[in-house]
């Protein structure tokens, strides 16, 4: 289980570097920044995101689930404020980074064989 967690952190770190390379408004510095970013995103997604989802259930229902995209943007923006060396220019950049990070992570997990089946 620990090896799977470490593998997912490394995949997310690599995906963040790849996504930032293709997006103009996102910067991920070198060194340990991608790994720290992946850890911070894991913590935010584990603890903050469920609270935000619960607090915004009425809005999420009214928007037929589309408000969850706003929650993802908020998580990326929070990570931008918490991690030195990771910067997102605005909401659109955070949205695109969130989408690209998910897609690239999934593709990398398919390649190395850790994707959920």
**The pLDDT value given to residue 1:** 83
Write down the pTM of the prediction: 0.93
pLDDT of 3 = 87
Cα separation, 111 vs 93, whole angstroms: 26
Low-confidence ranges of the chain (pLDDT < 50): none
pLDDT at residue number 19? 96
CA nearest to 13, candidates 32, 31, 35, 30 = 35
According to the model, what pLDDT value does residue 117 have? 62
Of 30, 41, 14, the C-alpha closest to 114 is 14
42-63 pLDDT tens trace: 999 999 999 999 999 999 999 9
């Amino acid at each position: 289980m620990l090896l799977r967690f470490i593998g997912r952190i490394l995949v997310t770190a690599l995906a963040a570097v790849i996504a930032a390379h293709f997006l103009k408004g996102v910067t991920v510095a070198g060194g340990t920044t991608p790994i720290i970013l992946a850890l911070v995103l894991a913590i935010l997604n584990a603890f903050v995101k469920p609270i935000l989802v619960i607090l915004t259930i009425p809005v999420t229902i009214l928007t037929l689930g589309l408000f969850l995209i706003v929650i993802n943007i908020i998580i990326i923006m929070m990570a931008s404020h918490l991690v030195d060396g990771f910067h997102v220019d605005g909401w659109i950049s955070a949205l695109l980074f969130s989408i690209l990070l998910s897609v690239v992570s999934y593709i990398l997990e398919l390649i190395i064989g850790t994707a959920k089946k």
